[in-house]
Amino acid sequence: MRIDNTSVFFPGGNNPQFGFRRTELLAQAEEGGPTALLPDIEEGVTAFHFSIQLDERFPLNYDHEYQIVFIETSDGSHVFGVQLGSPFTNPPGPLPAPNAHSFKVLDHSLNVLFSAPSSTRSWHNFAVLVDWDNLTLKVYYSKDGAPLKPVTGTIPNLSVSPGGPGKGEFHFGILKLPLVDPNDSPSDQGDVVHHGIQEGSTEGLFYSGVFVEKVTKGVSTGYGKTIRP
């Protein structure tokens, strides 16, 4: 998955998102789009699996924030998310942030539930367990060929709206936020969707093993094995 200066989303209404650079895939049904898939992947207890590797040929700029996996609800918030880089702040702090090179798994309130240093030539494997009825999260992680292991307990995610409003589209890819442009007006400096600094460089990540499973007896950890949630 790669972004460059052409990776601008035009959602319609002549309102291009020039603040972002983004290339993503969305899980969706063959008929009915992402919404039609929700009964299959966002009911009961489900685990979202994905593996990520840095692309040495097209490195990220860790001064920026990258949102690389998330479930986006209708209000634009995320049930959970995975982030790389320096979180966007206005005014900006020292860049890059101390944890910029770490994968960070966030809850709906943007609390960091788990972080792991990124490393080139390694696959970073995740599963995020979502209990849609009890509004909880649990994170599993491993590197390369090692089986997944739980790295958090079951954590309340109570700021998510219950029911339909707390469900949404499953995204994976690269969403790069801008840096604050000191030449912008104060209101534009806070409008990350439409304004800010983007260098226009080509940057990339590799994805593999992306799937969602319904969890009844166990979470898949690899090699045909499961572990009780």
Tens of pLDDT along the chain (229 residues) come to 999 999 999 987 778 999 999 999 999 998 999 999 999 999 999 999 999 999 999 999 999 999 999 999 999 999 999 999 999 999 999 999 999 999 999 999 999 999 999 999 999 999 999 999 999 999 999 999 999 999 999 999 999 999 999 999 999 999 999 999 999 999 999 999 999 999 999 999 999 999 999 999 999 999 999 999 9
Asked if residue 225 is part of any domain, the answer here is: no
Asked if residue 223 is part of any domain, the answer here is: no
- Provide the number of structural domains found in the chain: 1
Which residues touch 89 (CB under 8 Å, ≥6 apart)? none
CA 195 to chain centre: 21
Give the torsion sign (CA, 21, 25, 31, 35): negative
| pTM passes above 0.75 | yes
Place of tokens 């979502």: 130
Please tell me the distance from the alpha carbon of residue 4 to that of residue 218, in angstroms, as a whole number.
40
Asked if residue 115 is part of any domain, the answer here is: yes
Give the torsion sign (CA, 87, 68, 50, 102): negative
Please tell me the distance from the alpha carbon of residue 105 to that of residue 133, in angstroms, as a whole number.
21
Residue 104 in contact with residue 84, Cβ under 8 Å?
Answer: yes
Asked if residue 119 is part of any domain, the answer here is: yes
How many helices (H) and strands (E) the chain has is answered by: 2, 15
Please tell me the distance from the alpha carbon of residue 55 to that of residue 1, in angstroms, as a whole number.
9
Which residues span the domain enclosing 33?
A: 2-216
Residue 118 in contact with residue 95, Cβ under 8 Å?
Answer: no
Asked if residue 172 is part of any domain, the answer here is: yes
Asked if residue 59 is part of any domain, the answer here is: yes
Asked if residue 227 is part of any domain, the answer here is: no
At 65, which CATH number? 2.60.120.1160
Asked if residue 221 is part of any domain, the answer here is: no
**C-beta atoms surrounding 121 within 10 Å:** 8
